[in-house]
Structure formats: structure tokens, C-alpha cells
Chain A
């Protein structure tokens, strides 16, 4: 069997694909964080909890009402987004006039509450969720077997991320959003309902997290703890990429997933920490992040 640096090629590519799949989740979550940060100027610590909600909800729909993954793809992000709207209206709205750190603290508390409740209800062990029938099995690419579902996750993420980018950078609504980020009072003066836009932005951001959860359900372990394990890595991804550009956060997410996959092959002890180490290095060289601008 062909090898590179003593590693079988099939295993190497297998890990790379797995890394890319993880990178997809990083990309979607950091994209949501970046959108929310741009509009609300807060870091949504509960983002991991929303991602977890998306996954657990998907599991719940199938196991309780036998609703398929395809419907979950629509229903779970919608449910998470609606929940997000309630959170924004009830809590976050009251914090726009104070230091943005309070937004971080509030969403941190919220994450603890959501996660604690889910853990109380569902325990810490994983909830099994099968891969949808259409995507079972793998494609033989000659040099490796590519599990169909992983290919679908990557494809779906690329579509979602590109659509989000398109909406924000190329449509009328996106123009309002970007204007609202720059100067809310002025946009309001032009007759655009800024508070509603803020709510919508938050809903889209957390909806993306919910969608990532649905995509993750068949391939990663569904568990109430899956979000908090991920969110800190995503924070590091955000610091590395800088929150200035949407394309930047997508690329950083995917790239770091790949690097993590490579690390698993060549030095698996560091696979948990490699993203944090890269973050430390980037901070030394470019404190504002790879795609960020120094304020």
C-alpha cells in the first residue's frame, strides 16, 4: 500500500476528510459568531449550547416522532432560531447600552443553564443517531474510501457558508445589515427597523449553529456536552481568523480543521491543543488575527 512519511495514504486522507468535517463545524459556528458580533457587538458564549440544541433536537425528532433527518434539517435550525429570538428579546436587548463584556457574561450564564438542563434530562452519555439511509456507505475514489455522509457535510457547509456570504455582501438585506453594523442610528433614521434587524441577525447566527448541530448529529456523538467542548476551540478559531471578514472566518475554520486532522495522523497527542498553539503563534505575529484589522 502506498505510503507518505510512513503513513498509509488511505489513512492520511481519511483523517484529512475527518478534519475537514470538523473544520466545517468550526466554520459554521465561527461564521455565526462573526455575524452576531458584527451586529450586536457581543460574543455569544451560548453558541455551543445552541449547536448542541440543534443536534439533540434532531435526535429527539427522530426518536420520539420518527421525523426524518431531512425534516430536521429545516425544523431544528428554525426551532433554535426562534429560541434565539426569544433570548435576544428577553435578555440581550437590555444590554446594548452597557459594556459588551456583560453580553459575554450573560450568554455564558445562559449556556450553563441550557447545558445543565439538557444534561439533567438526557445524561452525559451519547444519544445514538444513524446516518440517513441515502448517505450510508462510501465512495471508492481509488486512493481512499470517502464516506458519503462526510462528503455531504462538506458540500452542505460550503453551500450554506457561501449563501450566507452572498446574502450579506451582495443583497439589499445584507446592505442594510452592514450599514446597521457601521452606524445604527443613521440606518434607523432612514426608516429601517434596526431592533428587528438585530433580532433577525441573532436568529440567523444561532440558526446556523443549530444547522451545524443537525449536520453533526449523524457523524459526531450527540450529547449535552458536545457544545461546550467545541465552543472554546471555535473561540480560538475566531481569534486566529479575526472577526473582520466573513470569508476569513470560513477559511480559517476549514483550514484549522484540516491542520487538526493532519496532527492526528502525525502527532496525535497534540491534536487537542494544536489549534490553541496556532492561536498563540498567530498572536505573536499578527495580534489582530490573520484576516482582522487592528482597531
Chain B
């Protein structure tokens, strides 16, 4: 088999797994993991392929969640439109954040995005429509296109799975487009990309806004799944979580963030009732271990191992 064939076989296996999974595993858990997987993939588009570390992505996730929740519950938009509205809000916020931060690089970029997201956090803490500390409760799941009833967990799962696939394929398409090649060139050597005549900031900006919008899509979907939005969704710990998912799974690989998201979501749901507040300690320790020992992440290490085994045989 050629490499492309192997890859498509892999995609097919995953697709079947995704379709059959809700028969075995609790759908709400799966949906949560899928939302975070999309979140991490969108984040990876920025970190793994453009080299920009944003520490404020929770702002997009949470904003989309609040806007979706508010438009579904208070304004009474249908579920599909509410998700679109949430995604659009994240996109607009992405333009604002990007406009302010994109000219700074590396560590400064991380600090600026973190500070801006904290600004958004305090805004939601004080604004009346978010319900403050209580959060926005009892968001109706409603119907998709007036016919598909989303109250049923399993039905909703397939909708969420479709949304995830849409986002995932869009990211896949972006990475393998000429635009994606320029992004990688910027990651590898920004001065050279500039000297080749690329308007680097424009490319970064488009990548940033796309990443923000897809993060918003994930946040909007998550709000519909859980039917509530709380301040946790805009908290900087959530931004940290998604950085960890990407790092753990393997940044700069298309499947890495998915693996990382499923690992962390599983870990958090399994551990939180056993060790309580020590979850943060464990999350922090994984961070440290990842950075020190395997910076390529799970997928990166497995790929490396695979290549070594296959390479030694040939």
C-alpha cells in the first residue's frame, strides 16, 4: 500500500469507529470529547502550523457558547442558527484579538492573548445576560432544520459528529492547501517567508481568525450538548487545557489534538470524583512531563517509532 492509501484506510477506520461509538460509550461524554477535539484541532491550526501560541482561546470558546445559549434561550433562534450566531461572534472576536496581537511574536503573543481573554472573562462575570457565577442555564436543545429532534442524545451525537467532521476536514483542507504551505513556511522561518514576498501578518491573521471561528463552532456545539454555559468555559484554565491537549497529542500533526483531547477529557472525567482538587496537580504534572520528555506528543512519538521500525526493516 502507498502512504496515501494507508492514510485513507486510517480515515475510514476512524469514521466507522465514530459512527459506532455511541452504541458502546455514553453519548454525552463522546460529544464533549468531540467538541474539545475540534477545539484542540482549531488551536493546533495556529500553534502547530503557524507557530503562534495563543493562551486566550477560551475567550472564543466561551463567547460562542454564551451567544449560542443566549440566542437559543432568550431570542428564540432555532438551534442551527444559534450555533451559526455563536460561531460568527467568535469570528468577530477573533478579528479584534488578532488585530491587537498579531504583530507581536512568541511569548508576547501568548501574554497578550491571555490578558485579552481575561478581559473577556471579567466582562462575562459582570454582564447580566450571562447569569454571572450561576451561568446560563436551561438552554433548549431544540430541533435542527425544524425536524430533527436534538433532545435525543444519540441523534444529537450524530449531529455533533457531523459538525466535528466538517471542522476537521476544513482544517485538513487548509493545511494541505497552498495557504497551509505558507503557514508552515512562516512557522519554520518567518524572515525568509517575508523575504519571499509573503505578507506574513496577513497570513497569520487569516489563520488566527479561522482558528477562532472553528473554536467558536466547538464552543457553540458544546453549549447545545450540555444545555448550560458557565464561566469555566471562558476561564484561562480552559485555555491551558486546550494547550495541553494539543501538546500531549502532538502539535503539528492532524490527529494529535484529537488524541490529546480524548485523553484529557477521559482523564478529567475519571479522576475528578476520585482525587477532587488534585486534578489540577495531575494536569500540571502532565504538562511538565510532556515538555521535558516528549515534546512531539503521543502521535509524534508513535509516528517516530513506526518509522524507526519500518526503516530498520527496509
In the docked arrangement, what's the CA distance between A142 and B45, Å? 61
A43 to B280, CA, bound (A): 21
Interface centre among B103, B119, B236, B284 (most CB of A within 10 A): B284
A119-B284 in contact (CB<8A): no
Within the complex, the shortest CB–CB distance from B53 to chain A, in Å, comes to 5
Q: Does A110 contact B (CB under 8 A)?
A: yes
* B11 at interface, CB cutoff 8 A: no
In the complex, per-residue mask of A270-295: 1 if CB is within 8 Å of any chain B CB, else 0: 00110111011001100100000000
Binary CB contact string for chain B from 259 to 289 against chain A (1 if under 8 A, 0 otherwise): 0000000000000000001111101111110
B126 CB, min distance to chain A CBs, angstroms: 6
Q: How far is the CB of A169 from chain B (nearest CB, A)?
A: 24
Find out whether the CB atom of A101 lies under 8 angstroms from the CB atom of B240. Answer: no
For A, the interface residue count at a CB cutoff of 8 angstroms equals 42
Tell whether B115 is near chain A: CB-to-CB under 8 Å. yes
Select the stretch in B35-43, B67-75, B105-113 that faces chain A: B105-113
Check A109 for interface membership: any CB of B closer than 8 A. Answer: yes
Once the chains bind, are A279 and B287 in contact (CB under 8 Å)?
A: no
- Give B93 Cβ to nearest chain A Cβ, in Å: 13
Q: Which residues of the other chain, A, contact B116 by a CB distance below 8 angstroms?
A: 276, 279-280
A117 CB within 8 Å of chain B = yes
B residues contacting the other copy or chain, number (CB 8 A): 40
Q: Which of B104, B115, B283 contacts A235 (CB 8 A)?
A: B115
Contact bitstring A107-124, B, C-beta under 8 A = 1, else 0: 011111111110110000
Task: Find A120's partner among B53, B106, B118, B281 (CB 8 Å cutoff).
Answer: B281
The reply to whether B295 and A232 contact each other, CB–CB distance below 8 Å, is no
Assembly CA distance A287 to B201 (angstroms): 14
A116-B277, A117-B281, A272-B122 known; A109+B287 contact, CB < 8 A? yes
> Which positions 107-137 of chain B face chain A at CB distance < 8 Å?
107-108, 110-112, 114-116, 118-119, 122-123, 125-126
B111-A276 in contact (CB<8A): no
Say whether B247 contacts A119, CB under 8 Å: no
**Nearest 9 Cβ contacts at the A-B interface:** A109-B287, A112-B284, A116-B281, A116-B280, A113-B284, A276-B119, A236-B115, A235-B111, A109-B288
- What are 17 A-B pairs at a CB distance below 8 A? A94-B292, A95-B291, A101-B110, A102-B295, A105-B53, A105-B290, A108-B287, A109-B283, A109-B288, A110-B287, A114-B284, A232-B118, A235-B111, A239-B111, A269-B126, A272-B122, A283-B104
